[in-house]
Amino acid sequence: MQIIIGISVAGLGLFFWLWGSLWLPSRKSLECKLHALGVADTLGSVLIILGFLICYPKQWVGLLLALGSVIFWGTFLGFVLARDVTESRNGL
Partner 1 sequence: MACRHQDFRPKNIEGHAESDVFHPAPGFVPSYLSYISLSSRGRNEMGGVTERFPGYLEYSDKDFRNNLDAPDLGAGYGRPGTNQSASFKANWNARKMNWILGIMILSMAAMVLHFFRSESLWERLVALSSMSTKAGLAILAGGVLRGDGAVAFVGVIVLSMGNAGIIIVSYLFRRLKIECR
What is the nearest approach in angstroms of partner 1 to the Cβ of residue 54? 12
In contact, 32 and 23? CB cutoff 8 Å: yes
To the nearest whole angstrom, how small is the minimum distance from the Cβ of residue 1 to partner 1? 15
65: Cβ contacts below 8 Å, ≥ 6 apart = none
**Alpha-carbon Rg of the chain, whole angstroms?**
16
Interface with partner 1 (CB under 8 A): 7, 10, 14, 17-18, 20-21, 24-25, 30, 33-34, 37, 41, 45, 48-49, 52, 56, 59, 62-63, 65-66, 69-70, 73-74, 76-77, 80-81, 84-85, 87-89, 91
DSSP states of 44-60 as a string? Answer: HHHHHHHHHHHH-GGGH
| Closest separation in Å from C-beta 63 to partner 1 | 7
